Amino acid sequence: MNDPVTVEPGTVEPVTVVRRDRPTVDLGPLDPARGTGRPVDRDDDDEAGLYALVEQVRRIRALTTGGMFDTDLGPLTDRIRRVADELEAASASPEQRQEVNWRERRYASNCPIIGRSNVLAPPAEFELLDDGTLRAEMTLGLEYQGPPGCVHGGVVALLFDAALGRVNHHAGTTGMTMYLDLDYRSPTPILEPIVVTARQVRVDGRKVWSQGAVHAGDRLCATAEGLFVMPAEWVAAYRQHRDEGAGEG
């Protein structure tokens, strides 16, 4: 065991933490009542039947969260265990799946928000409006609950990280999250429809800023701003995408 470190008073210099200015989120373009757009991030190619299987696992996940049943669960548990054993025997290893997913660019289908092959993903279907705003309606169940009747704050943050990242993707400026600044304005409800919106607001070199909002009806639940940075090797691809778009106009 390492000996404890003793620090003499006055021998450590104070650390200055520089705080960013809080962002101002323009809610006009993020109005949940703006209408619908064209579906995006939807993969319906389920030749292997994986998405159909995941849908049934999601049903089990939802039903067993805080589950209350008037039957003996033993026989059901035994049947599910046998199915899980069969799947385990037929499945590739996590390492193999990870390697193939990245090599074949299956990012969206594995996303914990929009991934049809990810059992954690809620029933979110994103649409892209004509001005590039991303929008999704969804109803989150008990499995996403934090405080009673409310979506867990960490889940709200996950929704924003995914939505802001996807709106950047559709603008041709995919990047890695550097910071995510959230304001929780009011509780985000479970078991009620909510609308998540996101839009890109600025690009400066490899830096990309985007903003988003969550509404329940007309009530604002949360807002967010994120800074994303494009890896250097992605910049050339972004510039090509941008130039092609300008040529089409």
pLDDT digits (tens, 9 = 90+) for 169-179: 999 888 899 99
What is the rounded CA–CA span in Å between residue 171 and residue 168? 5
Structure tokens at 65: 């969260």
Would residue 77 be called left, alpha or beta, if left means φ above 0 and alpha means ψ between -120 and 50 degrees? alpha
pLDDT confidence of residue 249: 43
pLDDT confidence of residue 1: 47
- For residue 73, with 0-12 CB atoms within 10 Å meaning exposed, 13-18 middle and 19 or more buried, which class applies? exposed
Helices (DSSP H) in the chain: which residue ranges?
50-64, 74-90, 94-103, 107-110, 153-170, 232-248
pLDDT confidence of residue 21: 75
pLDDT confidence of residue 58: 95
- Collapsing DSSP states into helix, strand and coil, what is residue 99? helix
Give the alpha-carbon dihedral of 34, 156, 210, 24, to 10 degrees: 80
pLDDT confidence of residue 17: 61
Is the model's pLDDT at 141 over the cut of 60? Answer: yes
- Collapsing DSSP states into helix, strand and coil, what is residue 31? coil
pLDDT digits (tens, 9 = 90+) for 35-66: 778 989 887 788 789 999 999 999 999 999 99
With b meaning 16 or more CB within 10 Å and e meaning fewer, what string describes 117-141? Answer: beeebbebebbbbeeebbbbbbebb
Q: Are strands 134-139 and 176-184 parallel, antiparallel or unpaired?
A: unpaired
pLDDT confidence of residue 224: 97
Nearest to 215 by CA among 198, 201, 231: 198
pLDDT confidence of residue 42: 81
- Average of pLDDT values for 84-112? 86
- For residue 13, with 0-12 CB atoms within 10 Å meaning exposed, 13-18 middle and 19 or more buried, which class applies? exposed
pLDDT confidence of residue 63: 94
Given pLDDT bands bounded at 50, 70 and 90, which one contains residue 13? Answer: low
Ordered structural domains, the chain, with CATH: 28-248 (3.10.129.10)
pLDDT digits (tens, 9 = 90+) for 214-241: 999 999 999 999 999 988 877 676 566 5
Is the model's pLDDT at 92 over the cut of 70? Answer: yes
Structure tokens at 7: 């620090």
pLDDT confidence of residue 79: 97
Average pLDDT of the chain?
87
pLDDT confidence of residue 43: 78
pLDDT confidence of residue 245: 57
Query: pTM of the predicted model, to two decimals?
Result: 0.83
pLDDT digits (tens, 9 = 90+) for 74-84: 999 999 999 99
Is the model's pLDDT at 26 over the cut of 60? Answer: yes
